[in-house]
């Protein structure tokens, strides 16, 4: 038990640059508290003390603002940063070294009593406000952008953004000892890229129209001169 608590404290030091001391983690980190309470509730759940497990989970929700169902399965090195509004459903499965930010939901989309919540691989980072809904797998080393809504499977080493979420980047496997990449705020924006391309095309078309207009303006004096010459010639022919 003490080794597990030490590991949970170490995870906070590894992934939160704001932490300064062990007492600060023990008394001031709701994500840390939520994990401790979850471990107690999960222990009761697997021993079929369902009411006590749910009650312990409810107390943890009241104290931390983080709701973790005691039936969920969570691996080692799990970290919830800030944490307010995080919801993790009963059949959710979370791998090792995963990171969740505030207002993340690992939710279900079915009324059936079956696997209805997502499965996260190892080293997954989910940005604040993201919703992962359904019984599919989010692959190892995946990153989910803030406020994304993911409703289908995510491949390993992928970056997902948008509503609905879609893969915008896929990289190679990480080295075994490489630290998780927490830069979930610097993800590609495909909508902004598409709009930028449209603006570029509009600027190109405007330049072509401007060039054509200038050429037409240059040709107008010559046309007027030819028109006058033709009119004068016609008049002379009539008088003759």
The CATH number covering residue 56 comes to 2.160.10.10
Q: Are residues 172 and 219 in the same domain?
A: no
Q: Are residues 169 and 224 in the same domain?
A: no
Q: Are residues 123 and 227 in the same domain?
A: no
**pLDDT tens per residue across all 240 residues of the chain:** 778 888 888 889 988 888 899 999 899 899 999 999 999 999 999 999 999 999 999 999 999 999 999 999 999 889 999 889 999 999 999 999 999 999 999 998 888 888 999 999 999 999 999 999 999 999 998 999 888 999 999 998 888 888 887 888 776 555 444 555 555 555 566 666 677 778 788 888 888 888 888 888 777 776 666 666 666 665 656 665
Q: Are residues 38 and 115 in the same domain?
A: yes
pTM of the model: 0.71
**Total domains, the chain:** 2
Distance in Å from the first CA to the final CA of the chain: 119
């Amino acid at each position: 038990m003490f080794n597990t608590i030490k590991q949970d404290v170490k995870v906070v030091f590894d992934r939160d640059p704001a932490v300064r001391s062990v007492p600060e983690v023990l008394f001031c980190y709701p994500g840390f508290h939520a994990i401790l309470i979850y471990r107690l509730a999960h222990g009761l759940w697997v021993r079929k003390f369902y009411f006590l497990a749910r009650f312990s989970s409810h107390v943890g929700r009241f104290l931390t603002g983080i709701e973790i169902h005691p039936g969920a399965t969570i691996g080692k090195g799990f970290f919830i940063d800030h944490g307010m509004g995080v919801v993790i459903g009963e059949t959710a499965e979370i791998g090792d070294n995963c990171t969740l930010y505030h207002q993340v939901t690992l939710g279900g989309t079915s009324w059936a009593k079956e696997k209805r919540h997502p499965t996260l691989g190892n080293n997954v980072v989910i940005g604040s406000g993201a919703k992962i809904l359904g019984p599919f797998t989010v692959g190892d080393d995946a990153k989910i952008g803030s406020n994304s809504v993911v409703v289908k499977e995510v491949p390993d080493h992928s970056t997902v953004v948008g509503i609905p979420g879609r893969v915008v980047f896929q990289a190679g496997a990480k080295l075994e000892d490489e630290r998780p990449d927490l830069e979930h705020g610097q993800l590609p924006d495909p909508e902004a890229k598409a709009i930028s391309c449209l603006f570029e095309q509009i600027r190109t078309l405007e330049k072509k129209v401007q060039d054509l207009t200038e050429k037409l303006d240059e040709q107008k004096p010559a046309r007027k001169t030819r028109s006058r010459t033709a009119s004068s010639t016609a008049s002379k022919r009539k008088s003759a």
